[in-house]
Amino acid sequence: MLELTNLSNADCDVENILRNDTDSVPAIVREHGLDGIEFMLCAPWDPAMYPPEYIKGVHLMFWPTWLDFWRGDRVALIEEFGSEENVRAYYGSLDVADWVERWKENLRRAAECRPHYVVFHVAHNRTSEMYTREFSASDEDVIRMSIELVNEIVSEMPQDCKLLFENLWWPGLTFCQPRLAAMLLEQVSYADTGFMLDTGHLMNTNFDLSSEADGAAYVEKIYRDLGEIGKRVYGVHLHQSISGAYTKEMMRRHADEHEPLDWREAMEYVLQVDLHQPFQTEAARRIVDTVQPAYLVHEFQQRSRSDAENKLLTQRRALGFL
């Protein structure tokens, strides 16, 4: 099992976590007994700042809202974004072919890092549906469209690289319907596929969890319910998110509201739902022992170097690694 942590090359990570220091990635990996990082490319890759020998996985970019664009539903796009100018700003173009090319370019950049795997989000939501959880798209809708999209871009997959599909709590891959997870792997035109099971995202699908023990038991149950397809879970994004009380309160407070949210409001909501906090109890170990992933990724919201390192220490201690 390779033990990793998440880092991106967004300005906030370069400045707040790496402190613009080319020695930071090796230092973090060495000091915490890790094997490397899962890297998100948000800008051109600087090998000096992110040495390739430490990059074991690449998290592909993603657009949380995309089905209407893919399907050419202009009415829905204008309802969500307000104008064609805003649509263009979000996707980089009004032409789906240009957007697909951005995905391909992201894969080409990922290939330069020579990763063991890349991660692809299988999810979609409109901001107007966030509070109410009354979704216009079903899990199956999103998975079918994701299959179409992936089959357009897999020609650019890095050599000898796994394509791992990640679960979220929005419509798409949630792991709550095993047949849909199986359909995803069966219909994608790429042989070396599997899953990156995100524990916090899975917890976000159950509003009644109240403790880490509850969360771990739920993750273990959903994993066991996958049956044979569970053997294709090669990675785990490990963190905990007990936010059901907040989710239910927002559903109550915003019942019957269907207006799109601005970027800040949407991000504030997501950060309150998807907490990305470290496990503090042996519940973490139960999940890892059950799933036995090839890649264990400590994935947190990180505000600073000290915040990132404290969370790593907390979760590694909970796992019994310290």
> 88-118: per-residue pLDDT in tens?
999 999 999 999 999 999 999 999 999 999 9
**39: three-class secondary structure by DSSP:** strand
How do residues 224-255 score in pLDDT, each as one tens digit?
A: 999 999 999 999 999 999 999 999 999 999 99
Of 40, 35, 92, nearest to 69 (Cα)?
A: 92
pLDDT value of position 128: 98
How do residues 265-296 score in pLDDT, each as one tens digit?
A: 999 999 999 999 999 999 999 999 999 999 99
**208: three-class secondary structure by DSSP:** coil
- Measured CA to CA in angstroms, residue 46 lies from 21, 42, 109, 120, 185 at distances of 12, 11, 11, 22, 33
pLDDT value of position 271: 97
For residues 203-214, give the mean pLDDT: 98
pLDDT value of position 168: 99
How do residues 61-80 score in pLDDT, each as one tens digit?
A: 999 999 999 999 999 999 99
pLDDT value of position 133: 97
Domain boundaries, the chain: 2-62+108-139+154-319
Mean pLDDT of the chain: 98
Q: How many CB atoms lie within 10 A of CB 262?
A: 11
Q: Which residues contact residue 197 at a Cβ distance below 8 angstroms, ignoring those fewer than 6 apart?
A: 166, 167, 175, 219, 223, 233, 235, 236, 237, 291, 293
- Measured CA to CA in angstroms, residue 198 lies from 31, 120, 152, 166, 241 at distances of 25, 12, 25, 7, 10
- Measured CA to CA in angstroms, residue 268 lies from 117, 202, 263, 305, 315 at distances of 30, 20, 9, 22, 24
For residues 197-208, give the mean pLDDT: 99
Q: What are phi and psi of 45, to 5 degrees?
A: -75, 130
Q: pLDDT confidence of 23, banded at 50, 70, 90?
A: very high
Q: pLDDT confidence of 57, banded at 50, 70, 90?
A: very high
How do residues 41-53 score in pLDDT, each as one tens digit?
A: 999 999 999 999 9
pLDDT value of position 242: 98
Pick the CATH number of 2-62+108-139+154-319 from 3.40.50, 1.10.20, 3.20.20, 1.10.12: 3.20.20
Q: Which residues contact residue 151 at a Cβ distance below 8 angstroms, ignoring those fewer than 6 apart?
A: 188, 189
Q: What are phi and psi of 102, to 5 degrees?
A: -65, -40
For residues 153-158, give the mean pLDDT: 98
